Amino acid sequence: MRSRGFKPSVFYNRRIQNEINLASMDYLYKQCHYININVAVLLERGMEMEKSLKDKKILVVGGSSGIGLAVAKFVYKLGAKVVIASRSAVIRHDALVGDVGERIQTVSFDIASAHEIGSLLDAMRKIDHLVIAVRPDIKPALFQETDFDSAREAFESKFWGSYRLIQAAWNQINPGGSIIMTTGIAGEKVFKGSSTMGIINNALETLCRSLAVELAPIRVNAVSPGFVEPKSREVQERALQFPIQRLATKEEIARAYVYLMTNDYVTGTTMVVDGGARLI
Ligand SMILES: NC(=O)c1ccc[n+]([C@@H]2O[C@H](COP(=O)([O-])OP(=O)(O)OC[C@H]3O[C@@H](n4cnc5c(N)ncnc54)[C@H](OP(=O)(O)O)[C@@H]3O)[C@@H](O)[C@H]2O)c1
C-alpha cells in the first residue's frame, strides 16, 4: 500500500526506470554470456563423446537387426571399430556393410552355444564395450498356454546367453570399458502374455546391479526399451495413450547405449527409454 502523502515525481520515476533498464541490460548481458558458455560446454561435451568412442572396439551381439543394428550404426559414425555378432551376421555381411559401413567386422555367433562363446572371445581379444541386444524366439502367450520348452529356450538365449557371455568376456574388457545388456518394458510393467519376457528382463536387471558391484571398475548397465517401431496397428494406437504419444524409433533407443558407454560415472543402472509407457 502506498504511504499517505507520497507523490512520486516524474524525475524520480525516470531515475528508477533508468536504473531498472541498466540492471536488466546487465542481467541480460550476463545471461547471454552464460548461455554462450553453456552452448560451448555442450558442444565440447558432444565432441568429447565423439572422441571417447573413436577407435574403441565395440562388440554388438545381436547387431544384425533392430536395436542392435541401430547401436552399431551410431557408434560406427562416432568412429568406433564395430564387430557385429549374430547367427546370420556373416551371411548378411554385404548388406550390413551397406547399412553400417565398410570397416565393420561380422562374426557368426549363437549366444546359446557355450562353445561359440569361447571361439568368439578368442577371435576378439580386447574389447572396450560389449553390447548384448539378442531377441529370443518366443511368441507372447498366456502363462497357462506357454510351451515350457519355448520359455526355457528364451531363457537359454537371452538370460543364460548374456550370463555366460559376460562371465567369459569380462576380463577381456579394457579399463574404462563397459557392458550393456538389453531388458525391456515387459520387466517394468505387467502385460498379459509376457510373463516369460518379464521374468527374463527382471532377472537381467538384477544381474546388472550385482555385476556393477562385482565387476567394478568395469561398468555394467542395461537399456530397457518400451515399444519400438515397427509394430501392429493395435500397438500403434495404444502408443497414442503414452505421454510421448508414439512408438520409439530404434535410433532413440540406440542413444541410450551411447550415453551409457560414454558417461564414466554411470553403473548398475537400467535406463528406461519408453516414452512414459510404463506410467499409464
Ligand atoms: N523391439 C522392441 O519393441 C523391444 C521392446 C523391448 C525390449 N526389446 C528387447 O530388445 C532386444 C532387441 O530386440 P529387437 O527388437 O531389436 O530384435 P530383432 O530386430 O529381432 O534383433 C534381434 C537380434 O538378435 C540376434 N539373435 C537372436 N537370437 C540370437 C542368438 N541365439 N545368438 C546370437 N544372436 C541372436 C538376431 O540376429 P540373428 O537372427 O542373425 O541371430 C538379431 O540381430 C531384445 O532383447 C528385445 O527383447 C525390444
DSSP calls for 125-141:
--EEEEEE---------
- Residues 230, 137: Cα–Cα separation, whole Å: 17
Cis check for the bond before 230: say yes or no (omega within 30 of 0): yes
Write out residues with Cβ below 6 Å of ligand 1. Answer: 61-68, 86-89, 109-112, 133-135, 157-158, 182, 184-185, 225, 227-228
* Separate counts of helices (H) and strands (E) for the chain: 10, 7
Cβ pair 134, 159 in contact under 8 A: no
Q: Which amino acid is at 179?
A: I
pLDDT at 10 over 60: no
Instruction: Give bridge partners of residue 173 from the DSSP assignment.
Output: 127
Cis check for the bond before 243: say yes or no (omega within 30 of 0): no
Atom of ligand 1 nearest to the CA of 64: 43
249 secondary structure, DSSP code:
P
For strands 173-182 and 127-132, give the pairing. parallel
Nearest to 154 by CA among 215, 195, 94, 116: 195
pLDDT at 43 over 60: no
Q: How confident is the model at residue 241 (pLDDT cuts 50, 70, 90)?
A: very high
Grid cell digits, residue 236: 500403434
Question: What number is the average pLDDT over the span 165-180?
Answer: 97
Assigned CATH topology for domain 54-279: Rossmann fold (3.40.50)
User: Which own/partner contact pairs does 117-121 have at CB distance under 8 Å and 24+ positions apart?
Assistant: 117/164, 117/165, 117/168, 117/169, 118/168, 120/85, 121/168, 121/169, 121/172
- Residues 230, 188: Cα–Cα separation, whole Å: 21
Cβ pair 96, 84 in contact under 8 A: yes
Atom of ligand 1 nearest to the CA of 201: 47
Grid cell digits, residue 90: 556373416
Ligand 1 centre distance from Cα of residue 73 (Å): 16
Residue extents of the structural domains in the chain = 10-53, 54-279
Grid cell digits, residue 269: 543402472
Ligand 1 centre distance from Cα of residue 207 (Å): 19
Q: How confident is the model at residue 37 (pLDDT cuts 50, 70, 90)?
A: low
Mutate to test the pocket of ligand 1, among 59, 88, 135 (most ligand atoms within 8 A of CB): 135
Which residue, by CA, sits nearest to atom 34 of ligand 1? Answer: 86
Atom of ligand 1 nearest to the CA of 247: 3
Grid cell digits, residue 166: 559376460
Q: Which amino acid is at 87?
A: R
| pLDDT higher at 132 or 33 | 132
Q: How confident is the model at residue 36 (pLDDT cuts 50, 70, 90)?
A: low
**85 backbone dihedrals φ, ψ, rounded to 5°:** -120, 125
Ligand 1 centre distance from Cα of residue 167 (Å): 20
Instruction: Give bridge partners of residue 60 from the DSSP assignment.
Output: 84, 131
Q: Which amino acid is at 220?
A: V
Residue labelled with grid coordinates 520348452: 149
Q: How confident is the model at residue 5 (pLDDT cuts 50, 70, 90)?
A: very low
| SS3 of residue 101 by DSSP | coil
243 secondary structure, DSSP code:
T
Average pLDDT score over the chain: 89
Atom of ligand 1 nearest to the CA of 231: 3
Atom of ligand 1 nearest to the CA of 185: 6
